[in-house]
Amino acid sequence: MGFFDSGVGGLSVLLAARRLLPREDMLYFADSAHCPYGGRSRDFVRGRALAISRFLLRRRAKAIVVACNSASEAALEFLRQAFPGLEIVGIEPAVKVAQRLSRNRRIGVLGTALTLGGRRFSRLLENFSAGLEVYTQPVAGLVEAIEAGRAGDESTREVIRRSLRPLLEKGIDTLVLGCTHYPLVHGAIAGECGPGVAVIDTGEPVARQLQRRLKAAGLLRPGQRRGRLDCFTSGPLRDVAPVVRAIMADPDLPVARARV
Ligand code: DGL
């Protein structure tokens, strides 16, 4: 199956999928040459989503995982129309889970401008935010810092601290990570929030949904062999490959440049 994101963020989803489906062969495409997607137009992201999906399908992906909230907002329905019959799994901020967990009924959602300003997100709020106060916040600069391999730097912590401040001042007790890059700094975000705030990722629920969909379609791979993982990027290999390998904790992971 093929995963894609604007960059390395979707690896947070891929990691959850590898844990749950270790025998599946997986492809990952980081669209690093066009990252970030968060401030782009819907049409631009649709064009990228189409080109990348075609690339992954040429490499025999049996399903597509849009491991990016922004691309899911812009392109999920469009991809489903473009590839009828193909299993396509997307991602959205876990507002439903937050609604269940929050005790004081105040939740925060971190995401990109594209996700938070989109139709899918407003529909999500219409359906699942009754009785909740929802505070949203883009985290300017965090995606770029993670892409540059600076996830652990003090300057990145400062970016996180600054973006969380307005949400914490509202007294939220639950925080949804509505961008797949953010779980890669889950520890720093949770540390800044403190123990009174539950921080919610979406990687695992998406991996479970993928498992259900593949099982229902009879597409799960039989046998015991561990699945292969091959990564591709549209960006410069010397910058992207070390970041991908560090996140996956695999210094030998194959990462190749692909002009898509
Ligand atoms: N990882 C992405 C998301 O889930 C995209 C971040 C970006 O490229 O702006 O929204």
Please, what are the domains in the chain? 2-91+204-257 (3.40.50.1860), 95-201 (3.40.50.1860)
46-59 per-position pLDDT tens digit: 999 999 999 999 99
What is the C-alpha separation between 56 and 27, in angstroms, rounded?
Answer: 7
- The tokens for 77 are 């329905």
Read out DSSP for 17-37? Answer: HHHH-TTS-EEEEE-GGG---
Buried b (16+ CB within 10 A) or exposed e, 221-237: eeeeeeeebebbbbbee
What is the C-alpha separation between 193 and 190, in angstroms, rounded?
Answer: 5
- Ligand 1 pocket: which of 136, 180, 243 to mutate (most atoms within 8 A of CB): 180
Examine the residue annotation and report whether 231 is marked as an active-site residue of this protein.
no
What angle in degrees, to the nearest 10, is found between the helix axes of 186-193 and 154-169? Answer: 50
Assess contact for 20 and 207: CB atoms under 8 A: yes
pLDDT, average across residues 51-72: 98
Examine the residue annotation and report whether 179 is marked as an active-site residue of this protein.
yes
156-213 per-position pLDDT tens digit: 999 999 999 999 999 999 999 999 999 999 999 999 999 999 999 999 999 999 999 9
- The tokens for 41 are 């137009």
102-159 per-position pLDDT tens digit: 999 999 999 999 999 999 999 999 999 999 999 999 988 999 999 999 999 999 999 9
For ligand 1, what atom is nearest to the CA of residue 6? 8
Of the pLDDT bands very low, low, confident and very high (cuts 50, 70, 90), residue 256 is very high
Of the pLDDT bands very low, low, confident and very high (cuts 50, 70, 90), residue 81 is very high
Per-residue pLDDT at 27: 98
Full-model pTM? 0.97
What is the C-alpha separation between 142 and 254, in angstroms, rounded?
Answer: 26
The secondary structure of residue 66, as a DSSP letter, is: E
Per-residue pLDDT at 223: 87
What is the C-alpha separation between 83 and 103, in angstroms, rounded?
Answer: 41
Pocket of ligand 1 (CB under 6 A): 5-6, 9, 35-38, 68-70, 112, 115, 143, 179-181
Distance 38 CA to ligand 1 centre (A): 6
- Ligand 1 pocket: which of 68, 137, 146, 176 to mutate (most atoms within 8 A of CB): 68
